[in-house]
Structure 1
């Protein structure tokens, strides 16, 4: 377990509000790829979910995972933060949530998934040179890998960058984790080089009045 990263994500989880009780349509569970509520595509990005075995890398407090389970999927979530795992288990006790680093879970596993996804999670905060071969190996033939996160904040600043987690207590030093920033076209090439086909990448425009869109990438393990 990467203790320093776990501590930083505990800081994030402690100050992060949980998912609302219902969305704008009144649904108790829903899938959200973007940082904006009630915005963007839904779980159909992952393909046919009926009875599918699905893995959430960096599941956080479990909102997306709970929706997939409600749809009948056999879904597993992993998160490095004990605080986030505790939130997920507290709100949705029926979820299969593991406290573990994504790459450790993938490397230790013995069964395949129909889809693997990450929403502002491990796909953004793990070196793709390490993560993508592990994901590819754990996907069933024809399986989908999809992830979303913010587009690069600064043009020309690509690859590993620092993300700051500021504890709520005054006078406490911030903690840092690495994220991997690439533009949509660069992610497409990285996914192809890792063996994924039918690759698509896009930046989803933000809602009216917001400035930051969401980068969404998708690839398929060849049959």
Structure 2
């Protein structure tokens, strides 16, 4: 039991470390700023950041003058967010049942959330409930089937990427953002694509993680995992790693 608890704690700490690295990359900072522009919030307006994690976006929105509310299913993440960003309001909650009143917020933001949801339509119905008429919604996320990774073994790389995608509840949600918003009744729906390109070791933990997941799923052998990870480590050390991730950013308005 203690071993399992220790492993869970280690996994959470590793996730937080990876999120901190990703969140401070220049491309990620610019993408968050663009999402805030698309929310188009008036001073003092209430906004919810769903799946807020350690709270960076909610904290930044509060610094910009919004009444920011961060919601996450993880009590550990909410506790960390409250410590890091005391100027925002953080609550434990689920995207399908938000701890908010009808029409309470003028803005709804969710980053890297909808690929974790089996039923995106249910979450968008909840988004419409909590948004006031005229409120804005912004969704951000990557399509897990479209990771582009340079490798000496492209066939094995393709197997690893697709195997990892298949372990995700809704891996292709991001490519459906526009249609999902339209189907949910949002208006003036727009879509942008921003590509994150990584050529150093900052994202090596993500690459080793998807290889481990593919091996755990039985899609590749331990020997294939070791070979592929070793190649990516060498590329990172030599400054020759290449990972490109298309990020989809969709926005719309509540009638």
TM-score (norm 2): 0.62
Establish whether residue 150 from structure 1 lines up as the match of residue 183 from structure 2. Answer: no
Indicate how the Cα distance of structure 1 residues 49 and 208 shifts in structure 2: closer, same or farther if over 3 A, else same.
farther
Deviation sequence 1:189-212 (CA, Å, 0-9, x none): 221111001111222122474411
Structure 1 residue 113: deviation in Å?
1.0
Indicate how the Cα distance of structure 1 residues 72 and 12 shifts in structure 2: closer, same or farther if over 3 A, else same.
farther
Distance in 2 (alpha carbons) for counterparts of 1:19 and 1:150? 17
Q: Which moved more, 1:59-68 or 1:49-58?
A: 49-58
- In the alignment, which of 153, 170, 180 is matched to residue 179 of structure 1? 170
CA contact under 8 A between 2:106 and 2:131: conserved in structure 1?
yes
Q: CA RMSD in A?
A: 3.1
Establish whether residue 88 from structure 1 lines up as the match of residue 81 from structure 2. Answer: yes
Secondary structure, aligned partner of 1:105: coil
Indicate how the Cα distance of structure 1 residues 125 and 109 shifts in structure 2: closer, same or farther if over 3 A, else same.
farther
Indicate how the Cα distance of structure 1 residues 11 and 142 shifts in structure 2: closer, same or farther if over 3 A, else same.
farther
- In the alignment, which of 184, 187, 195 is matched to residue 197 of structure 1? 187
Distance in 1 (alpha carbons) for counterparts of 2:248 and 2:112? 10
Distance in 2 (alpha carbons) for counterparts of 1:220 and 1:59? 21
Structure 1 residue 124: deviation in Å?
3.0
Distance in 1 (alpha carbons) for counterparts of 2:77 and 2:59? 14
Match of 2:156?
Answer: none
Rg bigger for which structure? 2
Match of 1:44?
Answer: 37
Indicate how the Cα distance of structure 1 residues 208 and 151 shifts in structure 2: closer, same or farther if over 3 A, else same.
same
Match of 2:90?
Answer: 97
* Structure 1: 5+ residue stretches without partners: 1-8, 25-31, 164-177
Which protein is richer in helix relative to its size?
2
Distance in 2 (alpha carbons) for counterparts of 1:55 and 1:64? 10
* Structure 2: 5+ residue stretches without partners: 1-7, 148-161, 200-242
Distance in 1 (alpha carbons) for counterparts of 2:32 and 2:13? 28
Distance in 2 (alpha carbons) for counterparts of 1:69 and 1:47? 14
Structure 1 residue 216: deviation in Å?
0.9
